[in-house]
């Protein structure tokens, strides 16, 4: 009788822990999307080429992602080449990098990069090349060397509702964009009620950074026109501006945002299932 009561108590405790764990996971996802703003999904890109499971490339990719997470706890930018110049088959060579937004503290940088690493395999399964941009950080890997090579291809853009006949706004916006265009690395700028920031990847030279940002600023004007707020992400730099802190995300409910929410839910579900499996295993041992 006493043993039955103990087992019943154990099962009740485990059930309570499981439900509370799952409740925490789902409530945090549904209420906030991600634990901190830096984890908000912006865009992802995946190669069409796929590698085979358990291949040498997968082993090198796992090593790269582990190095990325470890490095982000110390520096906000780093690049890697694994298998280059060794006995590793050429198709297994991998290049990659991570970078955090310039105003992010190292602790938050590390958490953001860790979140990106956890998501990239879900968004781009078995891809030979992939990139993932969150609000606070960016990671990318390829099986060809892309490091330090200027690429101004448009990866993502987002535009708010337009501003009509506001001469002062456009003057302030152009002042901010001109300032951002001359930046190297990460820069924040403001003029009146208009603010913005821009950043290049750390593998770009100052000349290539200026060229990339000039292209990004040009696309902000051509792609988003008279928008009150706009984001343009190129392959190796980005520029963003907004008026009075306002960004009407409802004006552009992009599919990338929905992907980000889906990824968050998947990660939460997998974590919940893992917790459930562990607790059920403990329950079985207690009953045995």
Reduce the secondary structure of 34-90 to three states and give it as a string: CCCHHHCEEEEEECCCECCCCCHHHHHHHHHHHHHHHHHCCCCEEEEEECCCCCCCH
Backbone CA torsion sign across 150, 71, 51, 40: negative
CATH class of the domain at 154-249 = alpha beta
pLDDT at residue 269 in the model: 55
Grouping H, G, I as helix, E, B as strand and the rest as coil, residue 236 is coil
Tens digits of residue pLDDT in 101-137:
999 999 999 999 999 999 999 999 999 999 999 999 9
Q: Is 0.75 surpassed by the pTM of this model?
A: no
Q: Are residues 31 and 25 in contact, defined by beta-carbon separation less than 8 angstroms? A: no
The predicted pLDDT at position 83 comes to: 84
181 pLDDT higher than 60? yes
Could you tell me the residue ranges of all domains in the chain? 37-147, 154-249
Under CATH, which number does the domain 37-147 receive? Answer: 3.30.430.20
Measured CA to CA, the distance from residue 161 to residue 157 in angstroms comes to 14
Tell me if domain 37-147 and domain 154-249 are identical in fold.
yes
**Pairing mode, strands 130-134 and 229-234:** unpaired
**pLDDT surpassing 60 at residue 264:** no
Query: pLDDT for 81-108, tens place per residue?
Result: 998 765 567 778 999 999 999 999 999 9
pLDDT reported for residue 38: 65
């Amino acid at each position: 009788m006493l043993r039955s009561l103990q087992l019943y108590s154990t099962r009740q405790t485990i059930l309570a822990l499981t439900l509370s764990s799952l409740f925490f996971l789902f409530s945090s996802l549904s209420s906030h999307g991600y634990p901190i703003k830096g984890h908000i999904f912006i865009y992802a890109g995946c190669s069409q080429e796929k590698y085979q499971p358990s291949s040498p490339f997968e082993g090198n990719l796992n090593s790269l992602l582990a190095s990325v997470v470890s490095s982000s706890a110390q520096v906000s930018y780093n690049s890697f080449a694994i298998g280059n110049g060794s006995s590793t088959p050429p198709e297994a060579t991998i290049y990659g990098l991570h970078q955090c937004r310039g105003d992010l503290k190292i602790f938050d940088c590390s958490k953001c990069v860790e979140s990106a690493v956890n998501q990239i395999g879900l968004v781009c399964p078995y891809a030979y090349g992939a990139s993932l941009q969150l609000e606070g950080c960016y990671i990318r890997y390829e099986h060809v060397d892309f490091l330090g090579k200027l690429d101004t291809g448009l990866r993502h853009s987002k535009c708010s509702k337009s501003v009509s006949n506001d001469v002062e706004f456009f003057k302030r916006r152009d002042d901010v964009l001109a300032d951002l265009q001359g930046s190297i690395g990460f820069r924040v700028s403001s003029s009146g009620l208009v603010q913005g920031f821009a950043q290049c990847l750390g593998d770009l030279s100052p000349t290539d950074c200026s060229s990339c940002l000039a292209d990004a600023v040009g696309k902000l004007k051509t792609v988003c026109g008279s928008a009150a707020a706009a984001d343009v992400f190129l392959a190796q730099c980005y520029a963003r501006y907004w008026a009075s802190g306002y960004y009407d995300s409802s004006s552009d409910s992009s599919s990338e945002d929905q992907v980000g929410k889906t990824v968050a839910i998947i990660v939460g579900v997998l974590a919940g299932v893992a917790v459930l499996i562990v607790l059920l295993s403990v329950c079985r041992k207690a009953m045995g």
